[in-house]
Homo-oligomer: A and B are copies of this chain.
């Protein structure tokens, strides 16, 4: 009861996988859960290590990365509040997960959680649909990495964040905080810090965005940004 109470106060209760569960199911899930905080930069899971952890992201931003043998890095996924972290039905992790900002997680031990998946079809269904969405997102990103120019990549990324974060997504004047530093942006976009920086100032110069400090982003025109991103406005 006390535990369940925590869930009812949870910031991401409705949006996370928990949203698909009844009170009784939620209680079971809650029994195995615990909160944990990670400082920006900390490693949460490591590639080629056994899967030990599943988690809901309560707050913050997590980057999933892969590295080549000689150390080149690519971000293959970003997770925000209410997203789910962890590779179900896999033995070893295929990527690193690191806190891109300070992060708060609601963690489930892997063995207990996999038993719950087997018990509650709704939970499994929810995870399935999220995986399908992740796959769609990954494929969208493949188009960006394979075929888009540096300018288009940066614009696409800002558009992505705007759609996820801005209070009024369709409006001009939307603003948000950039959760990544330039180096992480570069690793996500398949570019270098220098080009990212240059493209950002270029977007500022053309009057499509305004940059406040280094993290504050204000969009003057969603349509022009979508145009610069090389994609249709509705996408």
Residues of A within 8 A of B (CB): 64, 66-70, 72-74, 76-77, 87-90, 94-95, 121, 124-125, 127-129, 131-132, 134-136, 138-143, 145-148, 187, 189-190, 230-232
Contacts and interface: CB of A to CB of B under 8 A. Distances in A.
Nearest to A190: B146
A224 to B, nearest CB: 15
A68 B132 contact: no
Contacts of A68: 143, 147-148, 230-231
The 6 nearest A-B residue pairs measured at CB:
A146-B190, A145-B145, A76-B139, A138-B138, A74-B146, A72-B147
How many copies of this protein are present in the complex? 2
A230 B140 contact: no
B95 A139 contact: yes
A134 B77 CA distance: 14
Nearest to A68: B230
